Amino acid sequence: MPAHAAADSLGSLIDAIYDAGLDARRWPALFARIARRIGATHVNLSVLAAHEALPLDDWGGIERGFARRYAQHYGALDPLVPQARRWPAGTLVTDTMIRPQAAHARSEFVQDWVRPQRIHTVAFANVMREDGVAAILGALRRTPSYYDDDELDLLRALLPHLRNAIRVQRRMAQSAQADPLAALDAFDALDSLAQCVLIADRDAHVVFANRAASALLAQPHGLREERQGLCAPTLDATQRLRAMIARASAGDHGTRAGGAMLIERTAREAPLQVLIAPLGTHRAIEGATTATTVSRRGTAMLVITDPLAARRGVEQRLIALFGLTPAEARVAAEVGKGQEPRDIAATLQIMPSTVRTHLHHVFAKTATRRQADLMRLLEQIAMTRSD
């Protein structure tokens, strides 16, 4: 695998997204990496009020004169971007999806605004839509080819993480306006996540735990917190976990690195999936009246997935959001694990014909057409809490 491909793997990009959420100076480098990974020429993100026109002045790949003409005239002809703020969060659309390509190519918007900039194709996504604010991501490609399914799937997989990072950054900015030091206490935004999020110091003592993580630490098996720090069920796993945390939270930025591991539990419980990423030792608090830098010991963030809890939560949300029956929700959850209908029938001890009937109903109720679409929907649902 080429070095740049490994550096821009899904896990590495997710780490970088949360780093950017805590340090706004990292966004440009992150978008450059995402662009390289999906074959885009430029990736841009704008956070704007619900009725505010999308400003393109600071977008990479859009010349200032074209940005001005877009605001004056061509924005009203754009069939894609003005709609994006009304899409549900997590929706990703390319220009090839909205109308036949031949008709689109003949339009005034494409002929007079898009083509002179040598933009061949675009993908736009609604990253976040809440509290009267929308976050719109755009990926512009100038090479003469269209985005393939793998590239779009990777971009979709990043959207929930981008949304969570933006939430954290907005909360920190709000706190900084009132009190710069209060920004360090703004991590309660992470309580909205269904995933467990811990922040630990280099000695593996918990500095912060969101609600999901607090519930996990209270369970009798798996990860737990003791006076000497975080512990796994075995001595070997505990030593590996603490070594990763120490390396991720080291004071020397040149030696800091994240990692991932599984933490085994009982024979009946799936292992916990743990992703460990570095956090900054110094933080410049933006939005304050004066430039303020807060020094503190290095910390590491642990993102922990409990497959069983995630699956139970997804079933409940499918029932609440889409009106699925409990049986349909169970089948959908198995699809989310990558199971084929025959395997689902064996797992749930029902007839394959019953699985197919449930899947037909699930597709209709969730407005999905195939198992891959349903799996992406389930991944997005699994990111946030239902309460």
Per-residue model confidence as pLDDT tens digits over 131-146: 788 899 999 999 999 9
d(CA 254, CA 321): 46
Please name the residue ranges forming H helices in the chain. Answer: 3-7, 10-22, 27-38, 64-72, 81-84, 95-98, 101-105, 108-109, 149-178, 211-217, 235-248, 307-322, 326-336, 341-348, 352-366, 371-381
In this prediction, residue 351 carries a pLDDT of: 92
Please check the confidence at residue 300 and state whether its pLDDT lies above 80: yes
Please check the confidence at residue 184 and state whether its pLDDT lies above 80: no
Range in 26-35, 73-82, 92-101, 148-157 the model is least confident about? 92-101
Please check the confidence at residue 355 and state whether its pLDDT lies above 70: yes
Please check the confidence at residue 214 and state whether its pLDDT lies above 90: no
Please check the confidence at residue 19 and state whether its pLDDT lies above 60: yes
Please check the confidence at residue 383 and state whether its pLDDT lies above 80: no
Do 230 and 204 touch, CB atoms closer than 8 A? yes
- Burial of 161-200, coded b for 16+ CB within 10 Å and e otherwise, reads bbbbbbbbbbbbbebbeeebeebbebbebbebbbbbbbbb
In this prediction, residue 149 carries a pLDDT of: 92
Reported as a pLDDT band with limits 50, 70 and 90, residue 167 is: confident
Residue in the block written with tokens 């390319």: 94
- 176 or 58, which is more confident? 58
- The predicted-structure confidence for 318-329, as pLDDT tens digits, reads as follows 887 888 998 998
On the 0-12 / 13-18 / 19+ scale of CB atoms within 10 A, 253 is exposed
| Torsion, CA 293, CA 295, CA 300, CA 302, rounded to 10 | -60
Domains of the chain as residue ranges with CATH: 3-173 (3.30.450.80), 180-305 (3.30.450.20), 309-381 (1.10.10.10)
In this prediction, residue 341 carries a pLDDT of: 87
- The predicted-structure confidence for 49-106, as pLDDT tens digits, reads as follows 867 888 888 899 999 899 999 999 998 888 888 888 888 888 999 988 876 566 667 7
Find the mean pLDDT for residues 9-27: 82
Please check the confidence at residue 181 and state whether its pLDDT lies above 60: no
Amino acid making up residue 285? I
| Sequence-distant (≥ 6) Cβ neighbours of residue 215 within 8 angstroms | 196
At 17, list the tokens: 């997204």
Please check the confidence at residue 183 and state whether its pLDDT lies above 70: no
Do 196 and 310 touch, CB atoms closer than 8 A? no
Please tell me the total number of residues recorded for the chain in this structure. Answer: 387
Find the mean pLDDT for residues 151-169: 86
* Bridge partners, residue 136, by sequence: 46, 126
Find the mean pLDDT for residues 22-38: 91
Reported as a pLDDT band with limits 50, 70 and 90, residue 305 is: confident
Looking at mean pLDDT, say which of 28-37, 98-107, 207-216 comes out highest: 28-37
Mean residue pLDDT of the chain comes to 81
In this prediction, residue 280 carries a pLDDT of: 57
Reported as a pLDDT band with limits 50, 70 and 90, residue 7 is: low
- 33 or 130, which is more confident? 33
Looking at mean pLDDT, say which of 164-168, 263-267, 279-283, 314-318 comes out highest: 263-267
Find the mean pLDDT for residues 256-285: 76
Find the mean pLDDT for residues 102-129: 87
